Amino acid sequence: MKKVLYILAELSDRDFSWLITAGKRLQIPVGTTLIEEGKSINAVYIILNGSFAVCTEAMGGEEIARVSNGEILGEISFVDSRPPTATVKALENSTVWSVSRAQLSAKLLQDANFASHFYHALAMFLADRLRGTVSRLGYNQKNNPDDRDDQSDKDLNPDFLRSLEIAQYRLDWMVHRLNDIG
């Protein structure tokens, strides 16, 4: 599941409006490094269009993942305030929605409802990511790793699943509307 859907499903309409108002669209040319391993970042990014390679020095600089539309980048460094553990580089001309760390931190401090929704969504998708990693490493042999995405969707809270429709609508709106700004 696209990770930004977790956030968009949790946010209220007012919170979503703030996210749109607070962010800005960035064009990222092919080959550009958006996030560099070990160097602090000042934003969280939502991929509106394009794809990125995720590489880490621990794996000899090899690509460990590819991310594209609807994924979020920089969330772990946002949560723990440490430099990223991977480099993220554009594989094609791409567009991201950037929300600055300063603005997001201020919003989280000033708005307890927004903070609750935002952190709950982060916890849910980081837990999903961890479950997927554990499954791919073979620690959970009863699930076929190829079926992980289908299985993880079935394991989600039913209340959250009902919110996914509006989250998908919000993501589609962001991709189409925000990509056209400019």
Q: What is the pTM of this model?
A: 0.81
Amino acid at 27: Q
In this predicted structure, the answer to whether residue 146 has a pLDDT above a threshold of 80 is no
Q: What mean pLDDT comes out for the span 114-129? A: 88
For domain 3-180, say whether CATH 2.60.120.10 is its number. yes
> pLDDT tens-digit profile of 13-66?
999 999 999 999 999 999 999 999 999 999 999 999 999 999 999 888 899 999
Q: Which residue ranges make up each domain of the chain?
A: 3-180
Q: What angle do CA 123, 107, 25 make, to 5 degrees?
A: 85
pLDDT at residue 149 in the model? 47
